[in-house]
Structure formats: C-alpha cells, structure tokens
Amino acid sequence: MSLLKVISNDILTQPAFLIGLMSFIGLIALKKSANKILIGTLKPILGFLMLGAGADIIVANLDPLGKMIQSGFHLKGVVPNNEAIVSVAQTVLGKETMFIMVVGFIANILVARFTKYKYIFLTGHHTFFMACLLSAVLQTAGLIGAELILIGGFILGAYSAISPAIGQRYTLKVTDGDEVAMGHFGSLGYYLSAWVGKYVGKPEQSTEKIKIPEKWGFLRDTTVSTAITMTFFYLLAAIVAGPSFVGNLSGETNYLIFAIMAALKFSVGVAVVYAGVRMILGELIPAFQGIATKVVPNAVPAVDCAVFFPYAPTAVILGFISSFIGGIVGMLLLGSFGLVLIIPGLVPHFFCGATAGIYGNATGGRTGAIVGAFVNGLAITFLPALLLPVLGDLGFQDTTFGDADFGVIGILFGKASLFLGNIGIYLLVAILVLILAIPSFMKTKSKVINNG
C-alpha cells in the first residue's frame, strides 16, 4: 500500500489522529515537557475515540427505530445517509475521492496560513464525505484526471476554511467565547437555525434555564431525561410497527423490552459522547495555542458538531425532535409537489437537528431551538431532493447525502455546470478565490474572520 494511500485512507479519514497530530504540533511549538506532550496528545485522541464510540452506539440504536417507523407508517422513498452513499460511491470514485481529499487538506492548511480564514477543519470523515460529493458532481460535469482532482481539492480546502467562518459569530455565542469553530458540513443548517432563532425568541430564555419542580428534579440529569424521552418514542414506534415486525429485529426478546433497551442504549451513547467531548476540549484548546502562535498564526480548530452537545444538553433533545418533525412535514410537502420522497433519516436529524437546536437556543432560547431546528429539518429534506439530479449515476441509489452543506455545494456546482458547462464551475472557483482574497485587503478588528 502506497504512503499516499495510507495517509488518505488511514490517517486523514480518522479525526482522532488529526486531533492528536494537531495537539502534538501545538505542544511541541509551546516547548512543553515530554510527559505533558504525551498526555496532551493522547487525551484528545482518546476523547475522540470515546466520542466515536458514543456515536456508534447512537447510530446502531437509531437504526431499528428508523425501521420501525418506516414499517409502522408505511413509508417508502430515499433515506439520506452519508455513510451509505459514500460506500456506494467508492466502488466507482474511490481514487478520485482519495486524491481530492489529500489536496483539500493541504489547501485548507495553506488557506489558513496565508489568508484571514484561520480555521483548520479537523473532522476528517466529513472531509472524506465532501471529497466524495465533489468527485461525483465534478465528474458528472465532465471534469476528469488532474483537472478534476485539483479543482475538487481547491474547492474542498477553501470551503473547509470558509464554512466555519460563515457562522463563527453564532458559534461564539454557543461556546460562550471558547476558541473553537464548527467543523461539520451541516453547518449551514446550524447557522440558519441561529439566524431564525434571533427573530423568534430571546437568548435569555435558554433551554438550560427551564425551571423544573423539585419532584421532577431528576430530569436535570441529561442522561436520565434523554433515556425517558427516547423510551417514549421507541415504545410508540414499536407499538405502531407491531410485535411481528419488531420480532424480526429483536430475535427472541419481547418487542417492548427490545424497544426499551434500545432507548436506554441510545442514552448511554449520548453520555459517552459528552464524556469524550470534555476530554477533547480539556487538552485541545490549550495545545492549539502553540499552532496559533507558531505554525498558523491565530489558528482556530474547527471540530465535529457533537463537540457542542454539552453546551446545551436540553437543546439537543428539543432540536432532534423538532428537526425530525420538520423532516416529516418536508416529506409530506415533497409528496404533494410530486417530487421524490425524502424519508427523515434519524442519523442526520439527530446529529444535525440537535446541533441546530443548540444554535437556535444560543440566539433565541427555547423558542429559537424549536423553530430553528424545525427549519433545519425542512432544509435537510428539500436539499437532498434537489441534489439527486446532479449526482449522475449516484442519484439513482436509494440513499443520498444528508447534511445541509452537501446539498448546497452539490446543487451550486451541479447547476452551474448544467447551465454554463465547465465555465460555470470555473466561475464558482473564481468566486471562492475572491472570497478568500478580499478580506486580506480590508482592515478588520480581528485577524480571524468573524472571531471577535
């Protein structure tokens, strides 16, 4: 196996390694002692592995819930799922995706070093997903070989730095000033939620300030409240789907007991995610001071959406539920328009909906969390439906990309090619260059775009 393939397939796709590498470089730059470098490198890696383990538990237990809902309510259509569409794409676009990803990562570092977009995108699997999307869209547009790889890599690297900057003013509200940014390609949905939130609610009415009577005080425990809430939804789905169907999923376990256990395992996954996030932030932010002062001046780490869950745990659940309801409404609207049905995928609606709830809460409190996440649910229903036609052969699969940024980027470049051919692609690339370059000639208070 070539070194390039090891780097692209086995290192750059692993956010744990990326986080650890960045922390290691930062600690070296700060001239920390060997034992502090060891601890400061290992803890972010272990934290991200913990976060990933929690996410795996969540995804594994969302799968039967999704199947019960589809069976119980007789839903058929396309279910957005990034991992599923990427696994299909790799059979025909594996080499292109690999090279675009490597070029994109290098481009992101160069952009952060030489422009005011100082964000280093550390969510490796999302970099991989976007590389796959770009390889599909650009190949459908007629680009091949080195042209496809270089254009795709530049788009990926540029957007990896621009995406966190677009809504960093909202992210700072979420984190109360912690120097991290959003490194997830559902970000446009989160920023939309925050924008909506400021018009529909008040930030001081935060979800985290909801008054709970003393006898219900146990609900302040995030793990317990998540378990109770999700048990209700799992039991409802199991009852609607019926014991016969659920029995195919549960084996010899009683269908109601199976539903309860899946809900409880889901809540355990959320608890593991929270624990992993605390470990990451405890070491990554101090270590990144080294990168910010020595390697890429003023660098800001852009991290996975789940890292933001502990900032507003109640908004996580409200956001998930509201986004899922938005997905159902969007599906019904698509049906009335005669378009392909996008069935609400529980994985994107949980992770993206929860994060949208957090951002909506930061600007509009509990009302912002609910309405903002609902709007996000509509967005990640309509965008995948509009994306399907520009994916070429991948558009005929039973799944597609689920998060907002994939839809927006794919539709923009796909439609530009459709109407203007390759000229349309190059026009959008030129616009990206201008977006990167113009702030360097402008006087701003901060050396980092939208960072204070």
pLDDT of residue 132: 87
CA distance 315 to 1: 45
pLDDT of residue 161: 96
pLDDT of residue 101: 84
CA distance 221 to 229: 12
Residue 332 CA to its chain's centroid (Å): 25
pLDDT of residue 193: 97
Q: Is-contact 120 108, C-beta < 8 A?
A: yes
User: For the chain, what is the radius of gyration of the CA atoms?
Assistant: 22
User: What is each CA distance from 147 to 139, 327, 410, in whole angstroms?
Assistant: 10, 37, 18
H/E segment holding residue 186: none
Q: Any idea what the Cα angle at residue 373 is, between residues 371 and 379, rounded to 5°?
A: 105
Q: Any idea what the Cα angle at residue 414 is, between residues 410 and 416, rounded to 5°?
A: 125
Output helix, strand, coil percentages for the chain, rounded to the nearest 5.
Answer: 80, 0, 20
Query: Which of 390, 400, 308 has the alpha carbon at shortest distance from 83?
Result: 400
CA distance 101 to 321: 33
CA distance 189 to 355: 9
> 332 Cβ partners below 8 Å, 6+ apart?
none
Q: What is the DSSP letter of 119?
A: E
Q: Is-contact 59 312, C-beta < 8 A?
A: no
Considering all CA atoms of the chain, what is the largest pairwise distance in Å, rounded to the nearest integer? 67
pLDDT of residue 192: 98
Q: Can you tell me whether residue 182 is helix, strand or coil?
A: strand
pLDDT of residue 197: 96
Q: Is-contact 362 312, C-beta < 8 A?
A: yes
Per-residue pLDDT of the chain (452 residues), as tens digits, is 566 666 656 665 566 787 788 788 888 988 889 998 999 899 988 988 887 788 888 878 888 888 888 888 777 778 787 777 776 676 667 778 878 988 898 899 999 999 999 999 988 788 888 998 999 899 888 898 899 999 999 999 999 999 999 999 999 999 987 789 999 999 999 999 999 999 999 999 999 887 766 666 655 676 787 788 888 888 998 999 999 999 999 888 999 999 999 999 988 988 888 788 778 777 777 777 677 667 788 889 999 998 999 999 999 999 999 999 999 999 999 988 887 888 888 888 999 999 999 999 999 999 999 999 999 999 999 999 999 888 766 555 567 888 999 999 999 999 999 898 899 999 999 999 999 999 888 776 667 777 76
pLDDT of residue 382: 95
User: What is each CA distance from 95 to 127, 155, 368, in whole angstroms?
Assistant: 15, 17, 43
CA distance 203 to 200: 10
pLDDT of residue 30: 85
